[in-house]
Structure 1
Amino acid sequence: MSEQGTNDVTLDAPSAPAVSGASPARSSPKPALRAGAALPDADAAVAAGIGKLDSSRLRADFGRQGAFLHLEEFLAPEVTAQLVASARALIPEINRNYLPGHKQGGSVSRHTIDERAPFIAELYRSKALIGWLEQLCGDKLLPSPDSDPHAYALYYYTRPGDHIGWHYDTSYYDGRRYTLLLGVIEESSCRLDYELHTRDAQVPDEPGSVQTTPGGLVFFDGDKLRHRITPLGANEMRVSLTFEYVTDPGMRPWLRFISNMKDAIAYFGFRQVFRKLAPRRKPRA
């Protein structure tokens, strides 16, 4: 899930991929790409995988579950391997945070990813991926603004007790914000616990719990899903990648300020959040 909040691949997908419920722990695939090897074509790999899915059934599942979908397998192995390699290479860039009673863990923002792991940005902008997500949710999806550090970000659980408490990924944008969570490294006992329909008085709440396996996905409307990540155990590691898409990129100035302060304090640090907002100085003659 997006490891944020206001209180906070395999192409050979099974014919009936799991939609919800517990899934067994799975060790992360080892990076398969050698230094200098060609990167996989993210858009082509996603398009090939989507062609093997029953998208009509998955759209029905997404609606029935109150704008929530979980697939244990989605990304092609070569794409997952590249994400694992990128996540491990970016470990020195982690910005760690601790909010007593709510969260502790590490994050790497889209600004660092743009500089060090551009393949992730390519995957984020995949036309095949965005088009498929639009089929699931029924909305026209747009990339988050360039200034948004959460547009695509890596979230690291590397120390015992790393977690995030119950929260919604409330949108500060004028429109809705959808979160796509991709499992990257799963060498932990952490669970993604969630509750469906909590904001629909006509439908009983429905609890669930999954483990975010490498190459798997969770897709949901951030304003509707109450969720948490349970604490990391000793000698464990968990890394997830989230993509945020919006239906309207507009944001009121005072909400932008709140969003920026939250991101700076709880996730990426002031330098990462505000460096893209400050005007560049002209070079001296």
Structure 2
Amino acid sequence: MNQAANTSTESPGETTARIPDTRSGAPAARDIDATLSARLRELTTAQLHQSFDQQGSFLYLEDFLPREYTERLIDAVHAVTPAVNRNYLPGHKAGGSVSRHAIDKLAPFIADLYRSPALIGWLEAISGDKLQLSPADDPHAYALYFYTRPGDHIGWHYDTSYYEGRRYTLLLGVIDDSSCRLDYELHTRNDAVPDEPGSVQYPPGALVFFDGDKLRHRITPLGANEMRVSLTFEYVTNPNMRPWQRFISNMKDSIAYFGFGQVFRRKAGKNGSA
């Protein structure tokens, strides 16, 4: 497994024409894209794509984000802390979550990072898929996950896609003053390859990228006097979702992550009602 990036002059693919940026923060977004482009040119993209394929659509890089961006994400954590929604599912998960809707108001840097054409183009080169942003009403498009109380964790699961296409998860380490680990099993959906267990404690600035339907994984329980916060980005290959799948996805998000008010009130407001 590639634990750290090598250097190369290879450039990632570009998607600027496909994902235009017309928001008022466009200059800041262009600065983000320029900084990420410089960082991504240091990576051996072709070699990392090969590793991603060999590991059953999974990649871990211990040192990915520029340090200044990790520091800005830490600032974002402090900005969104009042919006954390605590959740508890007996025997499966406990922790806190902040959805994209709160992030848009309190920490817009995260939204700009998520939409970076340079980042998306590089992820396309790694995955071999054409990636799209998650729809505007998907609270999981980008979200922060807080482990702040002893025992906070999430049990074994897949990041199941309710979309008609694939959904890719990008995890970024933000704060990790903890003993938590990301445990995972590769190749569980491929009968031709033996399952391969692994475990990483990804630090601030680290990256984990995988096909959500292929990686079985969990976060081990938080210890006393510890704290861990991670950021997730979700990209899709087809943004369409059938009504029944949408209902299941909304209920899961409401109960297990963001609360009914954040999920359904947001959707009601979008339709013109309170």
CA distance in 2, matches of 1:136, 1:39: 22
Aligned length: 249
Aligned CA-pair RMSD: 1.5
Change (3 A) 1:244 1:39: closer
* Structure 1 segment 1-285 matched on structure 2, within 5 A: 14-15=5-6, 41-278=31-268, 279-281=271-273
Structure 2: segments with no counterpart, 5+ residues: 8-27
TM-score, with structure 1 as normaliser: 0.85
Shift of 1:192: 0.1
- Read off the aligned partner of 1:177 and give its amino acid letter: R
Alpha-carbon distance between aligned partners in 1 of 2:107 and 2:30, rounded to the nearest angstrom: 13
Q: CA deviation at 1:40?
A: 9.4
Instruction: Please list every run of 5 or more consecutive structure 1 residues that lacks an aligned counterpart in the other structure.
Output: 1-12, 17-37
Return the offset for 1:276.
2.4
1:14–1:196 CA distance, 2 compared to 1 (3 A): closer
Q: Higher helix share goes to which structure?
A: 2
Higher relative contact order (CA 8 A, sep 6+): 1
Q: Do the aligned residues in 2 keep the contact of 1:77 with 1:215 (CA within 8 Å)?
A: yes
Q: Secondary structure at the match of 2:154?
A: strand
| Letter of the 1:280 counterpart | G
Distance 2:137 2:204 in 1: 28
Q: Secondary structure at the match of 2:78?
A: helix
Equivalent pair of 2:174/2:231 in contact (CA under 8 Å): yes
Q: Matched residues in 1 for 2:235 and 2:124: separation? A: 10
| Contact 1:80/1:184 (<8 A) preserved | yes
Pair 84,40 (structure 1): closer, same or farther in 2 beyond 3 Å: farther
Q: Which amino acid counterpart does residue 272 of structure 2 have in structure 1? A: R
For normalisation by structure 2, the TM-score amounts to 0.88
Between the aligned residues of both structures, percent identity stands at: 71
